[in-house]
């Protein structure tokens, strides 16, 4: 049982939780071996997992964040945009779960365009479903995403329908979002082409482009959101963050956008062009909105 993996004493050592018990949805038989294209990166993920990080001590219910690393939907930057971020959340007394989600692969899955969202919803299902055992506030479970992981996180926060089995009727949407230099739009004007190609294919149906352009999916139900980006990002246009923020403002969703003058893409926790630390600013936003 999942409960047995995480005792109430909240050991600081990380715990790896299989995302699925039994069959994995939309999975096809293929080579199960993961690939490590560079230090701290992982690709060819066929068995998705959650790695749980808990603060050493807590006297009250914890907020929790599920972290989606980026990597153009081709690989995951699992250390700088996952594990290291989780440890920072722990430093602030917040539980964190690094999601090693499946990146789209025609040879390993069917309907690849829906697979990352399935994994993200399953992660929320696990955390919210075990909130009592893990001392987590079930109304303060957020999702964070970097780059293409930001696209996955924003998809999870704007698509209010279940893509996994949910007989327990667990709410599968996050209570807040943290999006760092995120891919948001798949429109020709704003898309990060690699992320769009990897998720939807090189000649996608126009309806899929609309569905996965998340600035167009914002409603009043979209959860509060904090966005961080750099104006000189040459990989993912900063206009992705601006368009999402404008949509949030249109629907009066509590939201904050911080655009640095410099920093480029992929700075993870540390934008070395400034002494400012976006993570601490984000924590202040969480506190101001009653999310921590």
Residue 166 has pLDDT above 70, yes or no: yes
Domain with residue 86: its CATH number is: 3.40.50.1820
Q: Which domain holds residue 240?
A: 15-288
Average pLDDT, the chain: 94
Residue 232 has pLDDT above 70, yes or no: yes
Domain count, the chain: 1
Residue 1 lies in a domain: no
Report, as an integer, the average pLDDT of 178-206.
96
Q: What is the pLDDT of residue 6?
A: 44
Q: What is the pLDDT of residue 7?
A: 42
Residue 5 has pLDDT above 60, yes or no: no
Residue 26 lies in a domain: yes
23-44 residues labelled b (16+ CB within 10 A) or e (exposed): ebbbbeeeeeeeeeeeebbbbb
Specify the 3-state DSSP secondary structure of 240. helix
Q: Which residues contact 14 (CB under 8 A, 6 or more apart)?
A: 51, 52, 53, 83, 86
3 versus 247: the higher-pLDDT residue is 247
Q: What is the pLDDT of residue 144?
A: 98
Q: What is the pLDDT of residue 3?
A: 39
Residue 6 lies in a domain: no
Residue 277 lies in a domain: yes
Residue 182 near residue 160 (C-beta atoms within 8 A) = no
Confidence class for position 11, pLDDT limits 50, 70, 90: very low
pLDDT tens-digit series, residues 26-70: 999 998 889 999 999 999 999 999 999 999 877 789 999 999 999
CA-closest candidate to residue 96, choices 60, 132, 123, 59:
123
Report, as an integer, the average pLDDT of 127-133.
95
Residue 244 lies in a domain: yes
Residue 4 lies in a domain: no
Residue 5 lies in a domain: no
Phi–psi pair at 228, nearest 5 degrees: -135, 135
Is the sign of the CA dihedral 246, 251, 252, 254 positive or negative?
negative
Q: What is the pLDDT of residue 25?
A: 95
Residue 22 has pLDDT above 60, yes or no: yes
Determine the Cα–Cα distance for residues 83 and 67; give it in Å rounded to an integer: 9
């Amino acid at each position: 049982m999942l409960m047995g993996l995480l005792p109430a004493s909240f050991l600081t050592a990380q715990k790896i939780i299989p995302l699925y018990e039994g069959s994995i949805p939309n999975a096809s038989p293929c080579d199960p071996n993961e690939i490590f294209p560079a230090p701290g990166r992982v690709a060819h993920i066929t068995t998705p997992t959650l790695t749980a990080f808990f603060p050493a001590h807590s006297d009250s219910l914890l907020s929790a964040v599920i972290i989606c690393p980026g990597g153009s939907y081709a690989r995951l930057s699992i250390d700088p945009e996952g594990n290291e971020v989780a440890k920072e959340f722990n430093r602030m007394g917040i539980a964190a779960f690094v999601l090693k989600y499946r990146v789209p692969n025609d040879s390993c899955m069917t309907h690849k365009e829906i697979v990352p969202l399935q994994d993200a919803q399953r992660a929320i299902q696990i955390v919210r479903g075990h909130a009592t055992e893990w001392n987590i506030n079930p109304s303060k479970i957020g999702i964070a995403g970097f780059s293409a992981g930001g696209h996955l996180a924003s998809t999870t926060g704007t698509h209010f329908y279940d893509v996994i089995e949910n007989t327990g009727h667990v709410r599968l949407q996050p209570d807040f979002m943290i999006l760092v230099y995120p891919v948001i739009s798949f429109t020709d004007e704003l898309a990060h082409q690699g992320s769009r190609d990897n998720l939807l294919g090189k000649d996608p149906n126009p309806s899929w482009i609309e569905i996965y352009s998340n600035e167009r999916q914002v409603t009043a139900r979209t959860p509060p959101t904090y966005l961080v980006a750099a104006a000189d990002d040459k990989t993912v246009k900063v206009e992705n963050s601006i368009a999402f923020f404008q949509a949030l403002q249109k629907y009066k969703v509590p939201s904050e956008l911080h655009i640095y003058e410099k920093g480029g893409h992929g700075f993870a926790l540390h934008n070395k062009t400034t002494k400012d630390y976006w993570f601490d600013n984000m924590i202040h936003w969480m506190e101001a909105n009653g999310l921590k």
